[in-house]
Amino acid sequence: MDSRKDRMVKQGYGEQEKRRAIALGYDPDKDMAPRVLASGAGVIADQILTIARNQGIPVREDPVLAGALANIEVNQVIPPELYALVAEVLAYVYRIQHRRLPG
């Protein structure tokens, strides 16, 4: 795993078509499950996405999952019913990060 741990920003559109962004993180040494690191809509979502892109953190668009994750408080782990969907996201992050490695 990357020394930054797994990080991912989800983006999507929810109620009233407002852009939403949710940053996820998972540290297997400390977390029982992935947790929400940041969440916001509109201008806050744009700021989350800008920070993610500037830090080289993968961004994936998934409006349905973004809507579900938007109901989770920052710093809370995701509920078990979202494990499978978030596992797909983490697998995506893993593939992206390993594509960037030399050699």
pLDDT digit string, tens, across residues 17-51: 578 999 998 898 999 999 999 999 999 999 999 99
> For 5-25, what is the mean pLDDT?
68
Looking at the 3D structure of the chain, how many domains does it have? 1
Tell me the residue type at 40.
Answer: G
The kind and range of the H/E element at 35 are strand 35-41
Q: Is the residue at 1 inside a domain? A: no
Residue 88's domain is classified under what CATH number? 3.40.1690.10
Is residue 22 situated within a structural domain?
Answer: yes
Q: What does pTM read for this prediction? A: 0.75
DSSP code of residue 6: E
Determine, yes or no, domain membership for 63: yes
**Assigned domain for 81 exists:** yes
Cα 35 from Cα 2, distance rounded (Å): 17
Distance of alpha carbon 78 from alpha carbon 76, whole angstroms:
6
Containing domain of residue 43, as a range?
6-100
Chain-centre distance of CA 5, in angstroms? 12
pLDDT tens readout for residues 47-79: 999 999 999 888 888 888 998 999 999 999 999
What is the spatial distance between Cα 50 and Cα 87, in angstroms, rounded to a whole number? 24
